[in-house]
Amino acid sequence: MTAIQLTPQDTVERALDLAATEGADGCVVLVAETSSANLRWANNTLTTNGAMRGSDVTVIATVGAGEGTAAGVVSRSSVTDATLREIVASAVAAARASGPAEDARPLVDGLVGADWAEEPDETSVTVYADFAPALGETLQRATKENRWLYGFADHEVVTLYVGSSAGLRLRHTLPRGHVSETGKTADKSQSAWVGAATRDFTDIDPLGLDAELTRRLGWASRTVSVEAGRHPTILPPAAVADLMTYLYWTLDGRDAHEGRSVFSKPGGGTRVGEVLSTRPVGLRSDPHVTGLETFPFAVARSSGGSASVFDNGLPLSGTDWIRAGKLEHLMTSRFTAELSGATAVTPAIDNYVVSVEGATGSVDDLVSGLDNGLLLTCLWYIRTVDPQTLLLTGLTRDGVYLVENGEVVGAVNNFRFNESPVDLLGRFTAAGATVPSFSREWGDYFSRTATPPLLVPDFNMSTVSQAS
Amino acid sequence: MPEVDASFLALPRRELAEAALRRARDLGAEFAEFRLERIRSESISLRDGVLESARDDEDLGLAVRVIHDGTWGFAAGVALTTDEAIRVAEQAVNLAQVSRPINSERIELADEPVYDAVTWVSAYDVDPQSVPRADKVALLTDYSHRLLSAAGVDHVTASVATVHECKYYANSKGTSYTQQRVRIGPEIQAVAVDAETGRFDSMASCAPPAGRGWEYLTGTGWDWDEELAAIPGWLAEKMAAPSVEPGRYDLVVDPTNLWLTIHESIGHATELDRALGYEANYAGTSFATLDKLGTLQYGSPVMHVTGDRVADHGLSTVGYDDEGVAGQQWDLVKDGVLVGYQVDRRMAKVNEDVLGTPRSNGCAYADSAGHIPIQRMANVSLQPAENGPSTEELISRVRNGIYIVGDKSWSIDMQRYNFQFTGQRFYKITDGKLDGQLRDVAYQATTTEFWGSMEAVGGPQTYVLGGALNCGKAQPAQSGAVTHGCPSALFRGVNILNTTQEAGR
């Protein structure tokens, strides 16, 4: 007998039937159909490329366990009609081998999407039909002008189907793309970087990116040595995203409730309700925000401090994590919300917007208002040093510039920094307008961010880095 | 001796490979290779002795990479049918054709002997897949409760990740192999919270991930009973320890910490693709550029670092890499001087004259069928001194210093100069003896200064294999597993920061 590749909808329906046959009390099935295409270049030439197609099926079976409910989770790629029975049986067996789950709650029910019956959307190399020739032109131009270009372009489309024994039938397509590019001078002693997120590459202009790289490399025609220390520093939106993404990932409600987070309150409880910044700064997620659209329902293939496999399909809505400087919510599943006494269930959402009320203007406007300080491009290799303060360490990279009397006057050496993004929210003295941003370090897989540029009067550059 | 899983052998690997390679050849590919990979992984995590999450994953797919008109083309798919294998081969060739106008360097590969239908299996005793889920949860529950029952421990997280990787590779030159590897990564951490002040800290097990089976969790290769019994006391001492005074100190670094410094400052720095700029937009380049081969004084004369793909229980130990190159061992740094790199077949060919060898040392690897092989780290290890000193003897040579055990935070710049690391435990050394723990410690240095300050390495009795399951590299991002063996070592005059002061408090 030949194995048959099932449609996503058939996979869901058959898996739910099989789970019932196996004796499961409940079942959630997630089918993710993924396609992607990428181009990578270095030293002014293409180096690698790829076009990938993937299919992933996750079965979450639930069974009674003592006075509670247990869950078994099994994921497989390359699922056929012949292998689906084994997957479902494994999930049910895994549930039976587990004790009652703390986070067990009734499965989310009732929602049937109007587009449930539609086929998966796809991407392919054709997404680069306009981009690739323009990229080729910039590579040739860089060779003629004695510059070096290194970069990566990626486009991915995920179509996710979620069905459950409680009646849930949801489908959502999520496109995501980005380009990032590093330019170096002929002797490779100076470098600059640009990057942008996109949904379809129609808004990406390789010639414009190359022009910005050329402008920044031009700033490096003069180089200045600057010592480590606390410097007035302008963080452009990309660098703010580098730091705030870490803060966002730390908003775990259970960790805070248990006293092991920067958002824990001495004496017990969390810092929800506490003013983190006297500035009118906000951190908000909304799955429907224009340009940063993401899954409008919870998706969890495993349970953790702020997520639960029982919450799959839970509708997501706009959530203020920080509003007017005050911590409003931490990330919770239904279980952790109850455990921690949170006033609402606020699961993680795959985007965020940082904004400062009333702030306008661009990076260039902040530069024009700075007498003496640094403008950095992006941050790199950021890791937690001390979770108590959320102290992070990392490096500046590919373009740190000296600002004097409102103008960029040259490039300076790189630095290692030690800073906490929670502290920075309370210390910045000026901000610009919030714009779509692309974190250098995390943008490859967390690209739906919008952030303002910030001026920090005393950014802690711990030591000098020789890297260039 | 373990054997390749029968269910993998039952897959139509040769038929799929033949269909894909034939189609690529018919379409004019100068070279083609096929991979069929199945990666079964399981992750289990407990929070305070209660099962929080357990999932079982399988990633199964096929990939074709071609050189067509001197240009790479790569494609991957998931359906295990000859039609899909042919479609993927066609897509790989098509991608090479589309990419040809922006490729200015013709791809050529270093020669490698042909291996005809060979098989290789890594060294382990108990296949984690064969152990019932309930038994695994029960063991982690026991380990968790040993910690939770101790005074001063408020929370415990315990997890284990296991991976069972099967691969079939075939190329148009006639090489084909079947390979199976098993690896395991446990993590157990105790947390103490001072309810009144809100201060908290943690103490994790130093057991590294290993190329072993389930026997690792039951005592082969690591003494769990001893470490779990000691963790609560170590944590309590850390909570009460004085904050470090920043400054320059002599350091004795335990292998449970030093492996990570080796990974970041030597392992990545001696990847030739980085030195040549191929990672410049992402993970970065390297200060150890090709023109410095044979002359760069990387560290002190006691420094001897090897790369290898053959060490037993190594996380990047293989029989053959993803370009059909057999596992080898070679020198990277000898007597403190840079003498070698990690390379793949293309880099070996292009740089044959400078490298002094016409052969790849087998460092091409993809983390799944869905990704292209990239230059990947071998087991990069600092060799011990024959008849060298014990850790206690190294400590006895220090008047005012710090002994560092276990890894924690890590960061290094994009050319591998400036790094900063923390650890699990920091013991003050006074007049050659340990003098209690310190807290808030981080060490920060520049790669060649740090390794140049290494006065002595310990003997084989101090040697430990460390490692990580999740080394990130490349775009699209790939995750690699790698082992680093090393002895204890003594460093003079290293810069120590106080992390609380760095936070401005």
What would the DSSP string read from start to end of B218-274?
Answer: GTSSS-HHHHHHHHHHHHHHHHHPPBPPPEEEEEEE-HHHHHHHHIIIIITTTBHHH
Q: B277: distance to nearest CA of chain A, Å?
A: 7
Task: Spell out the residues 6+ positions from residue B9 whose beta carbon is closer than 8 angstroms to its own.
Answer: B178
pLDDT average, residue stretch B286-312? 97
Interchain pair B61, A78: CB under 8 A: yes
Helix axes B224-240, B133-148, angle to 10 degrees: 40
Q: Which two tokens stand for residue B450?
A: 């740090």
What are the distances in angstroms from CA B51 to CA A26, A74, A299, A310? 19, 16, 20, 15
CA A48/CA A70 separation, integer angstroms: 45
The predicted-structure confidence for A74-125, as pLDDT tens digits, reads as follows 999 988 888 999 999 999 999 999 989 999 999 999 789 999 999 999 999 8
Nearest to A51 among B61, B75, B444 (CB): B75
What are the distances in angstroms from CA B280 to CA A128, B459, B470? 22, 37, 20
> What pLDDT is stored for residue A459 in this prediction?
98
What share of chain A has pLDDT > 90, as a percent? Answer: 92
pLDDT average, residue stretch A349-354? 98
Does residue A177 have a pLDDT over 90?
Answer: yes
pLDDT average, residue stretch B460-478? 96
Q: Which of B371, B376, B379, B380 is nearest to B473 (CA)?
A: B376
Taking phi over 0 as left and psi of -120 to 50 as alpha, with beta for the rest, A91 belongs to alpha
Reported as a pLDDT band with limits 50, 70 and 90, residue A1 is very low
Interchain pair B198, A389: CB under 8 A: no
Interchain pair B50, A264: CB under 8 A: no
Q: Which residue has the tokens 């919300």?
A: A337
Q: A156: distance to nearest CA of chain B, Å?
A: 11
- Closest residue in B to A75 (Cα–Cα): B57
How many CB atoms are closer than 10 A to CB A317? Answer: 12
The predicted-structure confidence for B325-352, as pLDDT tens digits, reads as follows 999 999 999 999 999 999 999 999 999 9
Q: Which residues of A touch B290 (CB under 8 A)?
A: none
CA A40/CA A37 separation, integer angstroms: 10
Reported as a pLDDT band with limits 50, 70 and 90, residue A277 is very high
How many CB atoms are closer than 10 A to CB A122? Answer: 14
Q: A47: distance to nearest CA of chain B, Å?
A: 7
Interchain pair B74, A98: CB under 8 A: no
CA B313/CA B487 separation, integer angstroms: 17
Q: Which residue has the tokens 């099926």?
A: A57
Reported as a pLDDT band with limits 50, 70 and 90, residue B242 is very high
Mutate to test the interface with B, among A38, A44, A45, A52 (most CBs of B within 10 A): A52
**Looking at the DSSP assignment, which residues form a beta bridge with residue A73?**
A60, B55
pLDDT average, residue stretch B152-168? 98
Q: Which two tokens stand for residue A57?
A: 């099926």
| Topology of the domain comprising B6-240 | PmbA/TldD fold (3.30.2290)
Task: Spell out the residues 6+ positions from residue A122 whose beta carbon is closer than 8 angstroms to its own.
Answer: A35, A53, A157
> What pLDDT is stored for residue A2 in this prediction?
60
Chain centroid to Cα B382, Å, comes to 14
CA A248/CA A272 separation, integer angstroms: 14
Taking phi over 0 as left and psi of -120 to 50 as alpha, with beta for the rest, A117 belongs to alpha
pLDDT average, residue stretch B381-402? 98
Q: A358: distance to nearest CA of chain B, Å?
A: 29
What share of chain A has pLDDT > 70, as a percent? Answer: 100
Query: Cα Rg for chain B, rounded, in angstroms?
Result: 24
CA B256/CA B263 separation, integer angstroms: 12
Q: DSSP assignment, residue A5?
A: B
Q: Which residues of A touch B282 (CB under 8 A)?
A: 152
- Closest residue in A to B370 (Cα–Cα): A52
| CA-based max dimension of chain A | 77
Residue B151 CB burial class (10 angstroms; 0-12, 13-18, ≥19)? exposed
B442-470 residues labelled b (16+ CB within 10 A) or e (exposed): bbbbbbbebbbbbebbbbeebbbbbbbbe
What are the distances in angstroms from CA B466 to CA B222, B412, B487? 12, 19, 10
Listed in order, the ranges of chain B carrying CATH 3.30.2290.10 are 6-240
The predicted-structure confidence for A3-23, as pLDDT tens digits, reads as follows 777 999 999 999 999 999 999
CA B51/CA B1 separation, integer angstroms: 33
Mutate to test the interface with B, among A265, A385, A439 (most CBs of B within 10 A): A385
pTM of the model: 0.96
Does residue A25 have a pLDDT over 90?
Answer: yes
**Type and span of the H or E element at B329:** strand B329-334
Q: Which residues of A touch B78 (CB under 8 A)?
A: 53-55, 77-78
Amino acid letter at A181?
Answer: E
Q: Which two tokens stand for residue B159?
A: 């997890």
Report CA dihedral (A210, A216, A222, A224) to the nearest 10 degrees. Answer: -140
Nearest to B137 among A53, A98, A309 (CB): A98
Residue A366 CB burial class (10 angstroms; 0-12, 13-18, ≥19)? buried
Mean of the per-residue pLDDT values for chain A?
96
CA A254/CA A339 separation, integer angstroms: 8
Q: Which residues of A touch B131 (CB under 8 A)?
A: none
User: What domains lie within chain A, and their CATH numbers?
Assistant: 8-216 (3.30.2290.10), 218-245+357-465 (no CATH)
The predicted-structure confidence for B116-150, as pLDDT tens digits, reads as follows 999 999 999 999 999 999 999 999 999 999 999 99
pLDDT average, residue stretch B239-268? 98
Q: A460: distance to nearest CA of chain B, Å?
A: 8
Task: Spell out the residues 6+ positions from residue B276 whose beta carbon is closer than 8 angstroms to its own.
Answer: A43, B290, B347, B351
**Type and span of the H or E element at A247:** helix A237-249
pLDDT average, residue stretch B435-443? 98
Does residue A422 have a pLDDT over 50?
Answer: yes
pLDDT average, residue stretch B34-63? 95
Mean of the per-residue pLDDT values for chain B?
97
Interchain pair B191, A52: CB under 8 A: no
Interchain pair B79, A77: CB under 8 A: no
